[in-house]
């Protein structure tokens, strides 16, 4: 007789959002930033952050159980993983992406059922008429800094592995379209001493890219260009990159963009596509399937299999297409123009 399955998996999924929200809340309240200065008691921390002295210890104890904080005497300190990824001043911080997840994604995901019923993103429903993704994230300097900080922290995890997934030695000039803070272009120039790179993005983004470019050891081979890759001419390059761009858009918009890139490339030039790749049978990876749902509530796009990307790229004219799973959150596709 078969034993009935235990409920552990279901219970884990029921509680999963609670763990996320506890971390999100501790980041947004400034807990990890404050504790990075020095360990503090809950009472002292509540006073410093203007929080309720009886409620805060409950959040702190939960963060200890989550492995984000450690106890020190009768106080608390950051665990090493929190010091690296949850403190806003850390060079590897993911705090910006956490704030973005809490302020935007958490709200959009609360309407996932409506997105599945209607097949459209939830911007109008959740944000009262805002249906332009990047207009919302770039609505003011604070929002722009938070969003780009999140993209930078998340991007850094993958960029160095993506850039080394293929041998790019023979390319001379990379144009990273929608390059945000420049993490991919910076990683490329630091990995390939003969490569120059341009970070192309919208005007509100460029000051943030310039700050990160200036800190790179390859700063003299990096430039920033204000541009809309849909509307403006593309800078000359023999290698273009699109990092987490194609998954934002519909097939029609992608077709236009890929045709534009193909036309701008010289013979032998290439396009580097950086995205999460779904398995061909859509059985995984889990992170890519969750990101696919994220695209449903956030954008007009989706995550794709390699064969789906190959079809789009071949339709644009590319003939030699290779893919590499990097082991990082993002994978790499290189498409070469004959």
Where in the sequence numbering do the catalytic residues fall?
247
User: Which among 304, 242, 249, 245 has a CA at the least distance from the CA of 278?
Assistant: 304
3-class secondary structure per residue, the chain: CCCCCCCHHHHHHHHHHHHHHHHHHHHHHCHHHHHHHCCEEHHHHHHHHCCCCCCHHHHHHHHHHCCCEEEECCEEEECHHHHHHCCCCCCCCCHHHHHHHHHHHHHHHCCHHHHHHHCCCCHHHHHCCCCCHHHHHCCCHHHHHHHHHHHHHHHHHHHHHHHCCCCCCCCCEEEEECCCCCHHHHHHHHHCCCCEEEEEECCCCHHHHHHHHHCCCCHHHEEEEECCCCCCCCCCCCEEEEECCHHHCCHHHHHHHHHHHHHHCCCCCEEEEEECEECCCCCCCHHHHHHHHHHHHHCCCCCEEHHHHHHHHHHHCCCEEEEECCCCCCEEEEEECC
Between CA 86 and CA 82 the distance in angstroms is 5
Q: For the CA atoms of the chain, what is the radius of gyration?
A: 22
Tokens linked to 257: 């963009």
Tokens linked to 72: 């020190």
């Amino acid at each position: 007789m078969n034993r009935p399955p235990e409920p552990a998996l279901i219970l884990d999924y029921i509680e999963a959002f609670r763990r996320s929200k506890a971390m999100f809340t501790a980041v947004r309240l400034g807990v990890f930033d404050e504790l990075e200065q020095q360990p503090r008691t809950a009472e002292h921390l509540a006073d410093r952050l203007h929080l309720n002295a009886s409620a805060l210890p409950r959040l702190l104890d939960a963060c200890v159980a989550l492995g984000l904080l450690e106890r020190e005497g009768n106080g608390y300190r950051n665990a090493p993983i929190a010091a690296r990824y949850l403190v806003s001043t850390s060079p590897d911080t993911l705090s910006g992406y956490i704030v973005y997840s809490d302020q935007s994604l958490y709200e959009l995901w609360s309407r996932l059922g409506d997105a599945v019923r209607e097949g459209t993103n939830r911007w109008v429903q959740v944000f009262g008429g805002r249906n332009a993704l990047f207009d919302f994230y770039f609505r003011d300097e604070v929002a722009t800094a938070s969003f780009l900080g999140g993209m930078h922290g998340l991007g850094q995890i993958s960029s160095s592995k993506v850039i080394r997934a293929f041998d790019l030695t023979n390319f001379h000039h990379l144009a990273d379209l929608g390059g945000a803070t420049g993490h991919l272009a910076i990683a490329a120039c630091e990995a390939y001493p003969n490569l120059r790179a341009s970070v192309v993005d919208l005007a509100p983004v460029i000051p943030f890219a310039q700050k990160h470019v200036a800190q790179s050891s390859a700063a003299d081979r990096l430039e920033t260009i204000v541009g809309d890759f849909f509307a403006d001419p593309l800078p000359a390059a023999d290698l273009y990159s699109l990092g987490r761009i194609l998954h934002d858009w519909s097939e029609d918009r992608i077709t236009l963009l890929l045709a534009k890139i193909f036309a701008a490339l010289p013979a032998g030039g290439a396009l580097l596509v950086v995205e999460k790749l779904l398995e061909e049978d859509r059985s995984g990876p889990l992170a890519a399937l969750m990101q696919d749902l994220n695209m449903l509530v956030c954008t007009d796009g989706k995550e794709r299999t390699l064969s789906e990307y190959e079809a789009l790229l071949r339709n644009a004219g590319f003939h030699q297409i290779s893919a590499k799973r990097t082991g990082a959150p993002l994978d790499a596709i290189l498409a070469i123009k004959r």
